Structure 1
Amino acid sequence: MPPRPTPTSRRVRSLAAPILALALLGACSAGTEPGPQTGEAAQADAPTPTMLESAPVAIAAAPPPECLSDGVAFADVGAAGSATKVAWAGAGERAVLFAPQVDGDVCQWADELVRLAGAGYLVATYDWGTSGEAGFQATLDLLRATGAQGVAFVGASAGGTLAAGLADDLGAVAVVALSPPATYGEVDARAEANQFAGPLQVFSSTDDPQVPAADSALVVRNDKTSIVTEVSGTAHGIEFMAPDGYHADHVRSTIDEALTQGFGEG
């Protein structure tokens, strides 16, 4: 896998996020519902995560990586020994789950976490760890325990395969996948093997050295709400979101459009 790009905004963290994670283990306090914001304003005013009165999933506070901004919580989710490191922000019933590439971590989607939390979503991502699929499920469990009623899936590379391949079984409202292999392990994301009928957007590169564009195209259905965007170059997965990437803004607008459609706001 190519090295992950460095997030655009790295700020010195206060003790706020570790305290927020610890709060999940005990007393409750209400999370703030963010208003619609985007860009730098969203990053400056990142909302605090929703607190849980009692955790229906096992959560243990963990030291956050420097890539996470203030207002983003970070914790080990799941049973000891097999827990997934999860970062989340925002509040509300509309949620977005970002799946990283193989061996990727929460830093891959850190900027999108803050951007979409500022736009009014509850958002989470995770470290791939020993099992990307187990981490995906743990993160989804956390989102639903925190108040999510509908969840959209966004993923890069094999994370995109999980997003598309698990969308039907796990009840996603929309999917965006960047360079997804048609299959990964036991997860089959091919359109012919799935019944998911919601908005589905796939990005691929003509000269992707890891996943051929033709392979990613197998994920897309043949209807107007399922679209593959093939661009020139070698960008793969999370590289589409590189700060200096040519396609980053296009991908962000596509994610926003898919969310609008998936949550029935358009």
Structure 2
Amino acid sequence: MHSVVKVRAGLLAVGVGALLLAGCTGGGDTPEPDAAPEETVSVGPSPAIRPVDVPDCAPEGSAAAATGPEDDPTVVVWTGAGSKGVVLAPQNQADYCQWTNEMTRLAGQGYLVASFSWADDSAASLLGAVDALRSVGAQDVALVGASKGGAFSAALADEADAVAVVALGPPATFDGIDASSEASTYDGPLLVIASTDDSQVSVDGSREVARADDPSTFMELSGGAHGVALLEGEHASHVQVAIDGVLAQGFTG
């Protein structure tokens, strides 16, 4: 069943048939609340999407909404357009701000890209972000996560109906979830990337998230970069190419 929220007329388009929620643009072009009559628009399967202000750190042209309990919401920020969605799951105690550059890069490649903030129910946060992205036009969704975000992406890949998963420095277990390949029924494109000298999550711990019978699902890099830092250091371009390859495989497979 599709949930319904009230939005204002004059919304910006996000891809074909996808609507931005009122008050979610950062450019100030959205009409004032009394500038147009209200209308009711279906936004798809995501429960209780509520418009919120776009965070300052979001890429230009982004939109934002909240989902989940009002007293402990998950804020979802998205940019780009199209039917191919990518959800970027942040590290523990982090949010969409740490994914700004990657959101911009992937949106430039034609993806509809979202990231989010964690609520107390971390699984609900990730799945809520997936639902929100589907509500604004994504037909298929891939998951890319760092550290905690990588663990939850791998553990919830089947539940999220993900077409591909990339995990950067994920622990095999986190907050009661088991991200190890042995515990997973997900059999789609998967890549785990970890640093040999990562001091926060051991490389052997991350290796458990990859498939033991498929060496192509694990990439070990020199140095000690952890999580999103893998996209900022000496291996940044290598990691981006690897992410692009897995996404291409997932969306064409």
For Structure 1 versus Structure 2, the TM-score category normalised by the shorter chain is 0.7 to 0.9
Q: Which residue of 1 aligns with 2:210?
A: 220
Aligned-partner Cα distance in 2 for 1:134–1:226:
30
Q: Which residue of 1 aligns with 2:13?
A: 31
Aligned-partner Cα distance in 2 for 1:90–1:199:
23
Q: Which residue of 1 aligns with 2:165?
A: 175
Q: Which has the higher contact order (CA 8 A, sep 6+)?
A: 1
Please tell me whether residue 51 in structure 1 is matched to residue 41 in structure 2: no
Q: Which moved more, 1:154-163 or 1:79-88?
A: 79-88
Cα deviations across residues 42-63 of structure 1 (Å, max 9, x unaligned)? xxxxxxx743633353233333
Aligned-partner Cα distance in 2 for 1:100–1:173:
19
Q: Which residue of 2 aligns with 1:46?
A: none
> For residue 211 of structure 1, what is the amino acid of its counterpart?
V
Deviation at 1:253, TM superposition (A): 0.9
Please tell me whether residue 97 in structure 1 is matched to residue 97 in structure 2: no
Deviation at 1:129, TM superposition (A): 3.6
Aligned-partner Cα distance in 2 for 1:229–1:159:
17
Deviation at 1:143, TM superposition (A): 1.1
CA contact (8 A) 2:72 2:119 kept: no
Aligned-partner Cα distance in 1 for 2:56–2:170:
28
Cα deviations across residues 174-229 of structure 1 (Å, max 9, x unaligned)? 00000100011222111111111111111111111111100100111145584211
Match runs of 1:149-188 below 5 Å: 149-188=139-178
Q: Which residue of 2 aligns with 1:200?
A: 190
Aligned-partner Cα distance in 1 for 2:105–2:6:
23
Structure 2 stretches of 5 or more lacking a match? 22-40
Deviation at 1:140, TM superposition (A): 0.9
Using the size of structure 2 for normalisation, the TM-score is 0.82
Deviation at 1:130, TM superposition (A): 2.9
Residues 125 and 103 (structure 1), Cα distance of their counterparts in 2 relative to 1, 3 Å cut? same
Q: Which residue of 2 aligns with 1:62?
A: 52
Please tell me whether residue 233 in structure 1 is matched to residue 227 in structure 2: no
Aligned-partner Cα distance in 2 for 1:33–1:146:
8
User: Which consecutive aligned stretches of 4+ in structure 1 deviate over 4 angstroms post-superposition?
Assistant: 223-226
Deviation at 1:32, TM superposition (A): 4.8
Identity %: 45
Aligned-partner Cα distance in 2 for 1:154–1:24:
31
Structure 1 or 2: larger strand share? 2
Structure 1 stretches of 5 or more lacking a match? 1-22, 35-48
Q: Which residue of 2 aligns with 1:88?
A: 78
CA contact (8 A) 1:33 1:120 kept: no
Q: Which moved more, 1:77-86 or 1:115-124?
A: 77-86
Q: CA RMSD in A?
A: 2.3
CA contact (8 A) 1:100 1:126 kept: yes
Deviation at 1:237, TM superposition (A): 0.7
Match runs of 1:64-143 below 5 Å: 64-143=54-133
Using the size of structure 1 for normalisation, the TM-score is 0.78
Number of paired residues? 227
The structure 1 residue matched to 2:235, chosen from 247, 254, 261, is 247
Cα deviations across residues 84-114 of structure 1 (Å, max 9, x unaligned)? 1111012222110100000101111111112
Aligned-partner Cα distance in 2 for 1:160–1:173:
15
Q: Which residue of 2 aligns with 1:11?
A: none
Matched residue SS, 1:198? coil
Matched residue SS, 1:66? coil
Residues 126 and 255 (structure 1), Cα distance of their counterparts in 2 relative to 1, 3 Å cut? same
